[in-house]
Amino acid sequence: MWPRGPRGRGAPTKEVKLRPDVLLSPDALAQFKRGFLEMAELAAITYGPRGGVVGNLPDLHREPELLTDAATITRRIIQMPGRARDMGAMLARHFIWRVRQEVGDGSALSAVLAESMLREAIHLSTDGVNVQMMRRGIDRAIAAASEHLIKIAKPLSGEADCVALATSILGDPALGKVVGEVIDLVGPDGAITIEEYVGPYLEREYVEGARLDWGMTSPYFETDETRHETVLEQPYVFVTSNKLSHPQDILPVLELVRQAGGKSLFVVADQTQADALATLAVNNQKGDIRCCSVKVEALGEQRVPSMEDIAILTNARIFLADQGLKASDARIEDLGRARRIVVRAKETIIVGGAGSSAAIRARIRSIRDRLRELKPSDDKYKPLRERIGHLSTGVAIIKIGSFSAKERKEKREQIENALLVLSASTELGMVPGGGAAYLSCLPVLKRLKAEGDELLGIRAVMYALEAPMRRLAASGGQHPPVVLDAARRRGNGFGYDVVADKIVDMRAAGISDPVKVLVKALEAAGSAVTMALTTSALVLHSSPSTEMEP
């Protein structure tokens, strides 16, 4: 028997989900591309030292924000009017934010490239154009340009280069000096943390510590949902090779910390799972004792020795399973201490472990002695080298202060982005800035053999590579074609210095860009543009889930 309608008896109790809308019309696809271009143009406004400012008014009861960061601007837009238009805008929002997350900079640059590339591709597209062949041309051009950029890059060398780049990113000579010195000393992969203070303050400090490729076992431990990390201040440290599965495997240690007046506990165990993990998570959420356990990534014979390294670093006793030692056997003096521990999804930074310097040095010597007996090709060689790195690098602390919480947050974000850019710079090197490096790619792309629709894709990329310098010229009040022609006539590496308002040798003027940022921005823009260009239908669901993350 068929069920009756919703107004009759026997109406279904479950809510009936409406079918998604499938849009195939040229108008819907045009709206989709329009949304993409609008979001990209909004982010591109902030590009360059004289980029524009975007005002954002969340509601009538709050003061407007004045934003200059492209990625932050895109995050403020949750929805655009028109569902097809909104879908295109969210595609642009997503790729712009991902560039910022991965390399710390280049979000405005990627928006400039994508907006210009898509506009030119639409302009070149006529009836009968094969967009898949055009996509092939775009992919070939981007691959060739990326290869050329990496080829012409020069390494970042010495503290002076690091300080100069940090200062240009941050716009603050004092802060740039501190950040540049730190990155030069500890290296691009070194352990660096940031501490905030109330009041004007700027300093750096180097302490004993370690950076491990061990991430937290559960996102429920996060204390900062924006950075996806947990920060434990003055924690106790419990190290065991046991598997923690039941509440009784960890409750005695929690009770010891509570009786000692401790506020946080860091757990290093073979595995933390089931009810033991839930016990730690509940304590963390209640706020009595902040807890976090980590995944020990060391394998095989190196697993227990790696835990012993952390025990020595923090002056903890390791509770070994093969000796029958359990949490119930622990005393408060068996727990290690540290000044601060920061745990993220894939790394842990231990700052100021309580272990003695003599014990740490002795541990390093013993590992080095074992290394001398091995060849680099041996399986045990690399894990031992990593363990020495964990114990010997130390941790750099950048201390910043301000009376305003908002200003402290902005400074912290600026430093975090600068550290990402500096890391990218030391990894692949630097190229002339201000769009000059992109201009040097044009002769390479002209030599690519292509015809028909594939050639149109290459032309779209060539047009986009000129866009950064065109936008800089416009923001400096100059006529873009005149500036581009002058830069080309002067040769590779020359570009427009917006502040000085003249064509200069960009490297000599100290205007450089990390090649990793330029390559990532170009590749991300090309990928997003080809997605927008080749989309032939839109599927719009009636009740889409709302996401704050791009």
Best CA proximity match to 370, nearest among 352, 384, 357: 384
Is pLDDT of 217 > 60?
A: yes
Q: How far apart are CA 91 and CA 85, in angstroms?
A: 10
Q: How many CB atoms lie under 10 A from the CB of residue 474? A: 14
Q: Is residue 201 part of a domain?
A: no
For residue 516, give Cα distances in angstroms to 279, 420, 431: 43, 11, 10
Report the pLDDT value the prediction gives residue 189, as an integer from 0 to 100: 62
Q: How far apart are CA 469 and CA 401, in angstroms?
A: 36
Question: When comparing pLDDT for 207 and 277, which is higher?
Answer: 277
What average pLDDT does range 108-130 have in this prediction?
90
pTM of the model: 0.68
The end-to-end CA distance of the chain, in Å, is 47
- Rounded to the nearest angstrom, the gap between the alpha carbon of residue 498 and the centroid of all alpha carbons in its chain is 28
**To which residue do tokens 């967009």 refer?**
131
Report the pLDDT value the prediction gives residue 16, as an integer from 0 to 100: 40
The domain of 102 spans: 21-153+433-540
Pinpoint the alpha helices (H) of 202-321: 251-259, 274-286, 303-314
What domain count does the chain have? 2
Report the pLDDT value the prediction gives residue 386, as an integer from 0 to 100: 78
Report the pLDDT value the prediction gives residue 536, as an integer from 0 to 100: 86
Is pLDDT of 345 > 70?
A: yes
Which residue type, as a one-letter code, is found at position 35? G
As beta bridge partners, residue 396 has: 192, 206
What average pLDDT does range 113-136 have in this prediction?
90
Is pLDDT of 8 > 50?
A: no
Is pLDDT of 62 > 90?
A: no
Is pLDDT of 412 > 90?
A: no
The CATH number assigned to the domain holding 68 equals 1.10.560.10
233 in the same domain as 359: yes
Domain end marker among 366, 393, 420: 393
Quick one: pLDDT band at residue 4, thresholds 50, 70, 90? Answer: very low
Are the beta carbons of 415 and 175 closer than 8 angstroms?
Answer: yes
225 in the same domain as 363: yes
450 in the same domain as 343: no
Is pLDDT of 173 > 90?
A: no
Is pLDDT of 547 > 70?
A: no
What average pLDDT does range 42-56 have in this prediction?
87
Report the pLDDT value the prediction gives residue 543, as an integer from 0 to 100: 60
User: Any idea what the Cα angle at residue 66 is, between residues 60 and 70, rounded to 5°?
Assistant: 120
pLDDT digits (tens, 9 = 90+) for 414-427: 888 788 777 777 77
Mean pLDDT in the chain? 85
Is pLDDT of 140 > 90?
A: yes
The CATH number assigned to the domain holding 223 equals 3.50.7.10
Dihedral (C-alpha) 16, 19, 20, 24: value to the nearest 10 degrees? -160
Share of the chain above pLDDT 90, in %: 34
Is pLDDT of 439 > 70?
A: yes
Are the beta carbons of 431 and 513 closer than 8 angstroms?
Answer: yes
Domain end marker among 363, 393, 423: 393
437 in the same domain as 320: no
364 in the same domain as 258: yes
Which residue type, as a one-letter code, is found at position 166? A
Is pLDDT of 1 > 60?
A: no
Are the beta carbons of 398 and 204 closer than 8 angstroms?
Answer: yes
368 in the same domain as 219: yes
For residue 8, give Cα distances in angstroms to 1, 12, 236, 508: 14, 10, 65, 81
Quick one: pLDDT band at residue 10, thresholds 50, 70, 90? Answer: very low
Is pLDDT of 548 > 60?
A: no
Report the pLDDT value the prediction gives residue 367, as an integer from 0 to 100: 87
